[in-house]
Structure 1
């Protein structure tokens, strides 16, 4: 069963205790670190050395050997040709894992050995993590997941009952998740209590009938990444300026999460989203701005205030020419204001 995000803090410690008690080994992928991080990296390996059972080294991109290892242990831990260390599960080794990290995503190169996974006796994952892909999960049933979520605040698992949006948001609020994906709920508007998921840093919404964004969305002060895919969107409210920590804004119209016979993609001229509010210039941390398939026909000059903006992508809009003020934005690495996909793409060279 997948996790929405990896548990952190006290929840991480409780999950480690749980995994230690239900597993025979835990596995870490080991690389030779750069000198700059060698001290911390090797400190972890030295602390775990008394519990090392064996190491398996796969060289030269031997994919056949990787597949054999993965099939032998029935585990997600093995997916590249690397060195893998197997450690004995015990209270002592578990304490080291809790001391060295605050969450599963901390186990990533170059600061730490990678992808902490726990193997059950006889094979199979009890808990797995593939940190680069933001994938985390546990081998438990729906009922076991509900019981654990009641017991461990911060363990947020993808339940079948989350097809009910109210239940999904209630659990997201309870577990203070920092990441949430909403899709398949046939929404025309987001519930106002989205504002209560106060720890959100990443929010992705794929709802073809979503048309209006609530004010509560813009009270998520910690939000760093907001992605919205829908068939049509009324507007980008001026209150987006309140998202002071936003680094990436992605909006794509003409999207469908459940295409059915009779579904018609509107022409760009029919899309309601026809302008970017000047308040966009108040998002001082914004690095990526992508708004695709809209009737937007001009860019606000306030974009020039975005000193950290590296990527500006407004493809499949209705902008006739590139505004002169973009020449002043020396930090831009990529810009696309084409009316057609993949045309008139410009790599900025100053």
Structure 2
């Protein structure tokens, strides 16, 4: 029985090309959207020459044109007003799709038409792609999904075997995932082999019982977004300073799957009570969030975060105004509520 199986990470490179070949061979048509945006004159081109040239090259294969209202009844790809063009699946058209992009979520303006999606002979979404939100789903039987995942390097699908965390992580490494969401596996530690994810850009960890982050995590030089939800993280290792491309860092303590027996650990009892000086070495950091920890002051090295735009240090134990944040050259938003010094101000 077919079911919509989620793509855990974006197919790219040879994996993207192999997926296009598979979709062309097994689909009936593919659809792209030319979106219309409220308040923008439609006579003004929002798109690049590459965008327009591709639509011209695809013209011989066009079989239908849909309005937003027509297509939204049958396809998840129609979520924004505009015109949607359908093309027949054939090798020639597939070659153009592989030439135009190197990854599935590259299908968005202004460089390309939106959300390349394939449909079957019944008009159902076969390969759904909502690129801006990085949502991809492939409608196949589980056995077929297993086969494709084994054969196409880079096609990281959500499979039944992934209830086993080791198999999940092994597949993520084999496919060299660009993004990874680790949640509710019930694990107590992150294996050091996570450092083998050499192309990982985005990592979200929500595991309440994980208390330590392996040093190998900070060998992933490509990492741009790191989000950690744990009940009681012991520390942020000093090796975090190695992440020279990191743009967003969030550390949220007191995080649980459900309300724990005995309640949430109070901030004064949290193990994480300081930020390492090396956090000031994150030269690309734009957004920082640290909530529900025992941190009482921020390291002076944070003065080096010259690209920081947003800093949320609410709900900690800061006992004085973090004045250095307001001196950063690009800072726009600072949130410091629910700290002892801010509570004193209210009184």
Does the CA contact (< 8 Å) of 1:319 and 1:338 recur in 2? no
* CA 1:337–1:43: 2 relative to 1, 3 Å: same
Q: Which runs of 5+ in 2 are unaligned?
A: 36-41
| Equivalent residue number for residue 17 of structure 1 | 21
Q: Equivalent residue of 1:140, what SS?
A: strand
* CA 1:327–1:81: 2 relative to 1, 3 Å: closer
* CA 1:164–1:33: 2 relative to 1, 3 Å: farther
How many Å separate the matches in 1 of 2:325 and 2:156?
Answer: 43
Q: Equivalent residue of 1:139, what SS?
A: strand
Q: Does 1:70 align with 2:72?
A: yes
* CA 1:320–1:260: 2 relative to 1, 3 Å: closer
Q: Please point out which of 34, 47, 51 is paired with 1:41.
A: 51
Q: Equivalent residue of 1:246, what SS?
A: coil
Does the CA contact (< 8 Å) of 1:233 and 1:253 recur in 2? yes
How many Å separate the matches in 2 of 1:70 and 1:57?
Answer: 9
Q: Give the CA deviation at 1:38.
A: 3.3
* CA 1:263–1:33: 2 relative to 1, 3 Å: farther
How many Å separate the matches in 2 of 1:143 and 1:36?
Answer: 42
Q: Give the CA deviation at 1:55.
A: 1.0
Q: What does 1:282-293 align with in structure 2 at a 5 Å threshold?
A: 282-293=281-292
| Equivalent residue number for residue 97 of structure 2 | 97
| Equivalent residue number for residue 56 of structure 1 | 66
Aligned length: 332
Q: Which runs of 5+ in 1 are unaligned?
A: 59-64, 345-350
How many Å separate the matches in 2 of 1:34 and 1:211?
Answer: 53
Does the CA contact (< 8 Å) of 2:289 and 2:313 recur in 1? yes
| Equivalent residue number for residue 348 of structure 1 | none
Q: Deviations over 1:6-42 (max 9, x none)?
A: 2111111111111011111100011369647431210
Aligned structure 1 segments of 4 or more residues deviating by more than 6 angstroms:
none
Q: Give the CA deviation at 1:43.
A: 0.7
Q: Equivalent residue of 1:132, what SS?
A: coil
Q: Give the CA deviation at 1:292.
A: 0.6
| Equivalent residue number for residue 39 of structure 2 | none
Q: What does 1:147-186 align with in structure 2 at a 5 Å threshold?
A: 147-186=147-186
| Equivalent residue number for residue 271 of structure 1 | 270
Between 107-116 and 185-194, report the one with greater CA deviation.
Answer: 185-194
* CA 1:309–1:162: 2 relative to 1, 3 Å: same
Q: Give the CA deviation at 1:218.
A: 1.0
| Equivalent residue number for residue 318 of structure 1 | 317
| Equivalent residue number for residue 61 of structure 1 | none
How many Å separate the matches in 1 of 2:238 and 2:130?
Answer: 38
Q: Equivalent residue of 1:12, what SS?
A: helix
How many Å separate the matches in 2 of 1:324 and 1:307?
Answer: 15
Q: Deviations over 1:251-291 (max 9, x none)?
A: 1111112x266252111111111111111011111111101
Q: Equivalent residue of 2:311, what SS?
A: strand
How many Å separate the matches in 1 of 2:339 and 2:327?
Answer: 25
Does the CA contact (< 8 Å) of 2:201 and 2:225 recur in 1? yes
How many Å separate the matches in 2 of 1:40 and 1:247?
Answer: 29
Aligned-pair Cα RMSD in Å:
1.8
Q: Equivalent residue of 1:187, what SS?
A: coil
Q: What does 1:137-156 align with in structure 2 at a 5 Å threshold?
A: 137-156=137-156
Q: Deviations over 1:192-237 (max 9, x none)?
A: 1111111111010001111111111111111111100011110111
How many Å separate the matches in 2 of 1:40 and 1:164?
Answer: 44
* CA 1:41–1:246: 2 relative to 1, 3 Å: same
How many Å separate the matches in 2 of 1:9 and 1:187?
Answer: 32
Q: Give TM-score, length-normalised by structure 2.
A: 0.91
| Equivalent residue number for residue 122 of structure 2 | 122
Between 322-331 and 96-105, report the one with greater CA deviation.
Answer: 322-331
Q: Give the CA deviation at 1:328.
A: 2.1
